[in-house]
Amino acid sequence: MRVLAMASMVAFVLFCVVNIAVAAEYHVKQDGSGDFATIQDAIDASIDGDAIIVHPARTTRTFASTGRI
């Protein structure tokens, strides 16, 4: 029983570490020096847990989200 509890704890910790390591951080810079030039491209490429950093810029474009924001 004790071995099973220890194995469960190790599996849980590994699961948490893998989830943290998989998250990406995307930078949106209008001048093209970031990962993406538009917010929409960053949203389309992201998955749950990713962070999108939008750097200062002016735009009149709209964007669509699937509710992950």
Query: Residue 15's pLDDT is what?
Result: 67
Distance in angstroms (rounded) separating the CA atoms of residues 27 and 1: 47
Distance in angstroms (rounded) separating the CA atoms of residues 42 and 28: 7
Write the CB contacts of 45 (distance below 8 Å, at least 6 apart in sequence). Answer: 26, 36
Query: Residue 6's pLDDT is what?
Result: 72
pLDDT at residue 61 above 70? yes
Letter for the amino acid at 46? S
Distance of CA 21 to the CA centre of its chain: 10
The structure's pTM equals: 0.58
Q: Is 29 exposed, middle or buried (0-12, 13-18, 19+ CB in 10 A)?
A: middle
Domains in the chain: boundaries: 24-69
- pLDDT by residue (tens digit) across 9-39? 766 666 665 555 568 899 999 898 999 999 8
